Amino acid sequence: MTTLTNRPRGALSPVIGEHHGSAHRRAQAWRAGAIIVIWATSLLVVALWVAGGGIGAVLGAGGETVTTLGRLTGLVAANLLLYQVLLMARVPLFERGFGRDGITRMHRFVGFWSFWLMGAHIVLLVLGYAITAGINPFVQLWGFVWDYPGMLLATAGTLLILLVVVTSIRRARRRLRYESWHLLHLYAYLGVGLALPHQLWTGADFLSSPLATAYWWTIWALAAASILVFRFGMPVLRSSRRAVRVASVEPDGARGVTIRVVGRDLSTLGARAGQFFVWRFLDGPGWTRGHPFSLSAAPGSELTLTARVVGDGTRRLASLTPGTRVIVEGPYGEMTGERRTGTKLLMIGAGAGVAPLLSLLEAEDYAPGEATLLTRDSVAEDALRQDAIADLVSRRGVRYLPFIGPRSSGPSSWIAASHSAWNGPDLLRHLVSDPEAYDVFVCGTETWMKGLTRDLESAGFPPHRIHSESFTV
């Protein structure tokens, strides 16, 4: 690694600046492509509804108006369900266009809206048909379920999707183990699969023309193929061809573990410091559940991950043996050095969130004293990667500031209680005197990062230089 020592202060080197500019243009191109796809499919959905007489039906009265609104909500719900599948499929266009953090937010937003619109679709169609036929809505609902092709499957699919939605509510999610939640979440695939046939067999807007029928069958087939290829096929193929396997397993801190993984030509995976993989260790029961862990060292001929042991899935990591085969899915994430536009680095991580920050500190270019690492742990014994941090301090001149102890009860809860006399912005300005020169990389729990980001902005750090990413779904 080369240390910048002769460049003007306040500017990145020309080589780095050119590299970052090129990376930014590529990212913008991917984002533009992803947005175009979303808008094109959304506009086509509206066009199908209009072509099916939707506008005229809305201007009608009685059951016809209610029914056409039910058709419209059904089309939009189907389109959002399609996006849900594509967002879960790890399609490169969306991964590179929106980044894992953006996809996580979209996944949650689209999931809840698709569910509520699906409910509106059912209620409006039942009411519209009941009004037109002059019968009780419950009689009409029973007739839908038993007399229309695919509706029994759709009912089962709707119940499965309801299960996924309920367990995805934050309060319910916190009560579930990750392994249980992950298994339940996979039922979303089955729910969509069961709900789909009635749309393609009986939906008026899906069968309004040969073009509409071909479009819906084709796009859903592509979505299913994307799951098979990007979620399963490619990770298995790439990992088996490279013979990815565990090289060593070492305790890290009181409750952590660091694992080094080797294989053939791992550099061809294209991983960058700050990114993460979804890891599956083929060591027995439970291997099918993937876990997202960031790289805790700059990637090269080997990949290193560090995890805090907090549940069944992470507890298995401590008992892995060298030689265990590994399936890696990724790399994912956009919290990389390509986001840098400043000259200095401030890294702030809580617990296992220190992992991607260390990989960035190993890979990035900076002069001694121009990188600061601030870590948060409840007890000193839990601190991870202390040897790697000590090496960065001695070899690269990183400034290391560990904050140990329980959280402050004040407005800036990301601060340790030992510093509760400070408010967040003042403490940050005390630690860093020239915030406008820094890129800040933040990694921790979602709530912790939100509070910290708010204080960083109040302290004068430019918002476009504050980088964080959530990699859980």
SS (H, E, C) 326-337: EEEEEEECCCCH
Query: Token match 């992950």: residue?
Result: 182
- Strand 245-252's sheet: what is its strand order? 245-252, 256-262, 302-308
Q: CATH code at 270?
A: 2.40.30.10
Mark whether 214 and 262 lie in a shared domain: no
Report the number of distinct structural domains present in the chain. 3
Closest CA to 278 of 89, 147, 410: 89
Mark whether 102 and 160 lie in a shared domain: yes
Q: CATH code at 394?
A: 3.40.50.80
Amino acid at position 446, single letter: E
Pairing of strands 291-294, 276-281: antiparallel
pLDDT for res 203: 62
CB 449 within 8 A of CB 348: no
CA distance 361 to 397: 11
Half-sphere exposure of 94 (CA within 13 A, CB side): 22
- Parent domain of 343: 339-468
DSSP 383-424: ---HHHHHHHHHHH--EEEEEESSBPSSS-TTSBGGGTTS-H
In Å, how far are 29, 368, 404, 438 from 430, measured between CA atoms?
Answer: 39, 20, 18, 14
Taking residue 90's Cβ as centre, other Cβ atoms within 10 Å add up to 22
Q: Which residues, including other chains, have CB under 8 Å from residue 8's CB and lie 6 or more apart?
A: none
Mark whether 69 and 126 lie in a shared domain: yes
For 462, the 3-state DSSP assignment is: coil
Domain presence at residue 3 = no
Closest CA to 375 of 298, 454, 296: 296
pLDDT tens-place string over residues 298-311: 999 999 999 988 76
pLDDT for res 233: 92
CA distance 261 to 427: 39
Q: CATH code at 110?
A: 1.20.120
CA distance 248 to 318: 10
Mark whether 123 and 154 lie in a shared domain: yes
pLDDT tens-place string over residues 268-319: 999 999 999 999 999 888 788 888 899 999 999 999 999 988 766 678 888 8
Domain presence at residue 9 = no
Query: Token match 């199908």: residue?
Result: 48
Domain presence at residue 460 = yes
Taking residue 375's Cβ as centre, other Cβ atoms within 10 Å add up to 24
Mark whether 104 and 81 lie in a shared domain: yes
Residue numbers in the chain where pLDDT is lower than 70: 1-24, 52, 60, 170, 172-183, 187, 200-208, 311-313, 470-473
Domain presence at residue 98 = yes
CA distance 299 to 423: 37
Mark whether 309 and 398 lie in a shared domain: no
Domain presence at residue 260 = yes
Amino acid at position 347, single letter: M
Domain presence at residue 172 = yes
Mark whether 153 and 215 lie in a shared domain: yes
CB 11 within 8 A of CB 363: no
Q: Out of 237, 253, 279, pick the residue that ends a domain.
A: 237
Domain presence at residue 7 = no
Domain presence at residue 4 = no
CB 414 within 8 A of CB 374: no
Mark whether 43 and 157 lie in a shared domain: yes
CA distance 70 to 53: 13
Mark whether 60 and 103 lie in a shared domain: yes
Q: Out of 237, 259, 294, pick the residue that ends a domain.
A: 237
Mark whether 78 and 144 lie in a shared domain: yes
Tokens of 356: 């991607």
pLDDT for res 17: 52
Q: Out of 299, 316, 332, pick the residue that ends a domain.
A: 332
Element (H, E) at 211: helix 210-226
DSSP bridge pairs for 403: 376
The pTM assigned to this predicted structure is 0.76
Mark whether 230 and 276 lie in a shared domain: no
Amino acid at position 267, single letter: S
pLDDT for res 473: 44
Give residue 311's region: left, alpha or beta (phi > 0; psi -120 to 50).
beta
Query: Token match 């040897």: residue?
Result: 387
Is the peptide bond preceding residue 463 cis, with omega within 30 degrees of 0? no
pLDDT for res 208: 64
Element (H, E) at 349: strand 344-350
Mark whether 33 and 150 lie in a shared domain: yes
pLDDT for res 445: 86
Helices (H), ranges, 52-91 = 54-58, 63-88
Q: Which residues, including other chains, have CB under 8 Å from residue 58's CB and lie 6 or more apart?
A: 65, 68, 69
